[in-house]
Amino acid sequence: MSTFQAPKGTYDLIPPRSAVFLAVRDTIATQVRNAGYGYVETPGFEDVNLFARGVGESTDIVTKEMYTLTTKGGDQLALRPEGTASVLRAALQANLHKQGNLPVKLWYSGSYYRYERAQAGRYRHFSQVGAEAIGAEDPALDAELIILADQAYRALGLRQYRILLNSLGDKECRPVYREALQTFLRGLDLDEETLRRAEINPLRVLDDKRADVQKQLVDAPLLRDYLCDACKAYHEQVRELITAAGVVFEDDPKLVRGLDYYTRTTFEFVHDGLGSQSAVGGGGRYDGLSEMIGGPALPSVGWALGVDRTVLALEAEGVELDLPAATSVFAVALGEEARRILFGKVTELRRAGIAADFSFGGKGLKGSMKDANRSGARLALVAGERDLAEGVVQLKDMESGEQRAVALDGVLDAVRELLG
């Protein structure tokens, strides 16, 4: 055992479980790639002000959860706590919004960091796949992203999740609601920190998970009652489009995402099999974020789906993914000449696109066949001096136990035939 361990609240991804994480990422990525989203990758750390301005200074993410550092040159940086602000910054820096048709459609995958109380489903290092459509105000874009996320979860085999949907209004109607909500909150028995938050952004209080706070919010005014006609019409179009696509959702007038930049459409995917950490993904529209971080007006919408929590949801439902075999053929060489020849055959198989491995370390037949079993290989390629003298190798089906001799120059064709 090593002297060192992974930091508290983090985890190592190791086989075979890591294959499930890769499959989840690939399945989500397939949906967005098929819809015209291009891949973007951003640094693991950014200027701390990018998140303070975009995510919001009143959020727990900025006030309590960001990992910050000072460089030798005195710059203040933060490990990225979420992906949207970084992706939008990258798009603006590269002037993608000036290079052709809008929206700019991007997807990303990576690790994110928040200093939170470590527990199942809530880590200090976590993995997400996200998608952003930048530069267009269109309810069809909002609907497209909700549908793509739904398709991704269904493609993985998940069924026991719910989609919560709400509208947070815009700069025209939200100020009226903000004032009404602040007036309501000032009359509650809240601690000083929560009251301070209510003055900065009262919607954040609606997202407070503490039971004693939630009890007092039962009669809080609802934003849907303050939406302007334009926001109501926009929201109804989103609802109609996803309904027509067969996506089932629940209207949740109290849904507030944990980031300050959301406007209008907001949604969350929740799985009741995960306990208190039920959200597996979510997102919404953020029409003012570009201007918050110094860019032009670029109405945008996006989501991020948690890979970690999606894996937990799969486990909660007992869903086992159909994972490709890490190794299809395992070569067992008995003797130096067999090692040289079979190593060449393994290389030949790999070049042909067949997953193949080799028994390293000079083990005997028994130990090498144990390695072949552990690898999960469908076929074993076995050869000793007698086989080579006859110009053949033994090809064994690890499932049926059947074995036959194959000419050295016919190994690739024989393997292809047996693997189908």
Identify the pLDDT of residue 164.
Answer: 96
Asked if residue 33 belongs to a known ligand binding site, the reply is no
Asked if residue 262 belongs to a known ligand binding site, the reply is yes
Contact 37, 108 (CB under 8 A): no
Identify the pLDDT of residue 254.
Answer: 84
Burial class (CB in 10 A: 0-12, 13-18, 19+), 334: buried
Identify the pLDDT of residue 54.
Answer: 64
Listed in order, the ranges of the chain carrying CATH 3.30.930.10 are 17-173+227-317
Asked if residue 11 belongs to a known ligand binding site, the reply is no
Q: Retrieve residue 266's tokens.
A: 């907001």
Nearest to 264 by CA among 229, 232, 295: 232
Cis peptide preceding 15, ω within 30 of 0: no
pLDDT band at 347 (very low <50, low <70, confident <90, very high): very high
Nearest to 330 by CA among 368, 365, 366: 368
Identify the pLDDT of residue 203.
Answer: 80
Nearest to 168 by CA among 224, 84, 128, 118: 224
CATH number for the region 329-419 comes to 3.40.50.800
Q: Which residue has the tokens 């209004």?
A: 169
Predicted TM-score of the model (pTM): 0.89
Asked if residue 82 belongs to a known ligand binding site, the reply is yes
The residues, any chain, with a CB within 8 Å of residue 317's CB and separated by 6 or more, are: 157, 158, 159, 160, 273
Higher-pLDDT residue of 283 and 121 is 283
296-310 pLDDT, tens per residue?
Answer: 999 999 999 999 999
Query: For a pLDDT cut of 90, what percent of the chain falls above it?
Result: 66
206-256 pLDDT, tens per residue?
Answer: 877 788 888 888 888 888 899 999 999 999 999 999 999 999 999 998 887
Identify the pLDDT of residue 188.
Answer: 87
Identify the pLDDT of residue 383.
Answer: 94
pLDDT band at 135 (very low <50, low <70, confident <90, very high): very high
**CATH architecture for the domain at 17-173+227-317:** 2-Layer Sandwich (3.30)
Asked if residue 403 belongs to a known ligand binding site, the reply is no
Asked if residue 374 belongs to a known ligand binding site, the reply is no
Asked if residue 132 belongs to a known ligand binding site, the reply is yes
25-59 pLDDT, tens per residue?
Answer: 999 999 999 999 999 999 999 999 898 876 665 55
What is the pLDDT averaged over residues 318-339? 92
Q: Is the pLDDT of residue 321 over 80?
A: yes
Query: For a pLDDT cut of 70, what percent of the chain falls above it?
Result: 95
Listed in order, the ranges of the chain carrying CATH 3.40.50.800 are 329-419
Identify the pLDDT of residue 56.
Answer: 60
Asked if residue 177 belongs to a known ligand binding site, the reply is no
Identify the pLDDT of residue 201.
Answer: 79
Higher-pLDDT residue of 121 and 113 is 113
Cis peptide preceding 324, ω within 30 of 0: no
Asked if residue 183 belongs to a known ligand binding site, the reply is no
Contact 257, 268 (CB under 8 A): yes
365-380 pLDDT, tens per residue?
Answer: 999 999 999 988 999 9
Q: Is the pLDDT of residue 21 over 60?
A: yes
Higher-pLDDT residue of 205 and 388 is 388
R_g (Cα) of the chain, nearest Å:
27
Whole-number average pLDDT of the chain? 91
